[in-house]
Amino acid sequence: MISVQDTIRSIVEAETWAHRIAQLRLVPQRHGTGDHIAVYAEVARELYLPHLTPDFAFIHVAPFYDRDHFFAAYEAASQKTQGFSDVSEDTLSRVLMECPTSLLVFRTILGLTKEEFSHATVLVAANTTGVTVTPSVIDAMERTDPDRPAVSVQSKSREKLEAQTQALARTITDVMSRSLFGPPPASMRLKQCKPDTDQRWDSVRRFSEEGVPFEVFLHQRHYGGAFRQVLDATSSLRGNMIEDAVERLYKEHGISFIRTGSHNQAEIAERFEVRVTPAPDFVVFDPIDGGLRAILECKGTNNGGTARDKALRFARLREEAVRLGGIPLLAVLGGIGWARINDALAPVLRDTDGRVFTLSTLSAMMDVAPFPTLRRRPD
């Protein structure tokens, strides 16, 4: 009987992708289920782990989060309040009308997200203004050019905008005075109990005039998360990096495919009888008979726990691929989260029969069935 180590070597030393896949498919026949994870994990460690891309080292360029936009908003907020010394409700309302982008600075001072700040206006409206401001309006105001008047934001009437800026100013005032939320529950504290707002506007003025001690700056990064806001805001772009690369590869080689999304789920289900929801990220088909030839899923994460959870998706897709006649299931993975092997990368290897690729090995996909027979031939 062949040993686990012999099986691992036969897979690792396979000369072609076809041979590697064939050897991986023999694992259930050669070994009991208790040995499967050892085989898949060691193969993953030797053949796939070295190719994972450490994309955690990079962030997308996002103008809204870059210094130029924020510094311009800060300069306007500081100048129009005389260095945050004139922060009456009326002044704040006027500043927001004259320079809606300044809302970004005031909201950041409060330490609230757009959604949280919007809900705070609901709390204020219940007792006073009767006017609420949605996250989309807040976002539109914060993204305007500092020299653009508020009346042009989303083409709303001046009267409504005045009411909204008054509601925003009242909300800022109530949050800073700590009269809006009430006392915190035991073992908790208000978000405004932080160095730059600990003494309300006095702290803001002091930090504005004297600067921020470096240790306080670093602690905020430690406490609030390094690059957390921009990473959350660009998460879809980061996710699209892998799918965009696959799409470019397919177009370059003339592969017939459909990249799926919320807009074409029904089409995929009707045309190819794919029942799993959501549909896999890509379906590959034969341009001659229109038959489904492969399905592919892209997953990127830098968190091991998230990779473990995402791996479960491939088990469902494996069942669907079998139901559809045993068509190949492929995976393109990115991020160091997949360095979690035993319950993340190894199961994906099992469910795809080893058809796992990264951005650095993506071109090798064209050597794996069914792509050699689907590639566009020279005229």
Answer yes or no: is pLDDT of 149 > 60: no
Q: Does the pLDDT at position 373 exceed 90?
A: yes
**Where is 301: in which H helix or E strand?**
none
> Mean pLDDT over residues 99-117, rounded?
94
Question: 379 falls in which pLDDT band (50, 70, 90)?
Answer: very low
Three-state SS letters, 269-280: HHHHCCCCCCCC
pLDDT single digits (tens) 298-313:
999 989 999 999 999 9
Helix, coil or strand: residue 298:
strand
Taking the C-alpha atoms of residue 74 and residue 207, their distance in angstroms, rounded to an integer, is 13
pLDDT of residue 13: 95
What sign does the dihedral 217-220-222-227 (CA atoms) show? negative
pLDDT confidence bin for 148, thresholds 50/70/90: low
Mean pLDDT of 157-186: 90
Average pLDDT over residues 76-86: 95
pLDDT top residue among 223 and 168: 168
Mean pLDDT computed over every residue of the chain? 91
Sign of CA dihedral 315, 317, 322, 327: negative
**Contact, 362 vs 300, CB < 8 A?**
no
Residues 350-371, mean pLDDT to the nearest whole number: 96
pLDDT mean over 330-348: 95
Taking the model in full, what pTM does it have? 0.74
For residue range 46-77, list pLDDT tens digits in order: 999 999 877 777 778 888 889 999 999 999 99
For residues 205 and 175, give the distance between their C-alpha atoms in angstroms, rounded to a whole number: 17
Asked if 220 and 214 touch (Cβ cutoff 8 Å), the reply is no
Torsion from C-alpha of 81, 117, 141, 156, nearest 10 degrees: -110
| CATH code 3.40.91 for 4-55+235-374 | yes
Identify the CA nearest to 334 among candidates 244, 262, 246, 239: 239
Q: Is the model's pLDDT at 151 over the cut of 70?
A: no
Query: What strands lie across the sheet with 292-300, from one edge to the other?
Result: 257-259, 282-285, 292-300, 329-334, 356-357
Q: Using one digit for the tens of pLDDT, what is the confidence trace for 85-107?
A: 999 999 999 999 999 999 999 99
Q: What pLDDT does residue 123 have?
A: 92
CB neighbours of 66 closer than 8 A, spacing ≥ 6?
Answer: none
Contact call for residues 341 and 41 (beta carbons, < 8 A): yes
Please tell me the predicted confidence (pLDDT) of residue 377: 58
Residue 241 has pLDDT above 50, yes or no: yes
Query: Model confidence over 10-27: pLDDT tens digits?
Result: 999 999 999 999 999 999
Helix (H, G, I), strand (E, B) or coil at 282: strand
Give 213's contacts (C-beta < 8 A, 6+ positions apart): none
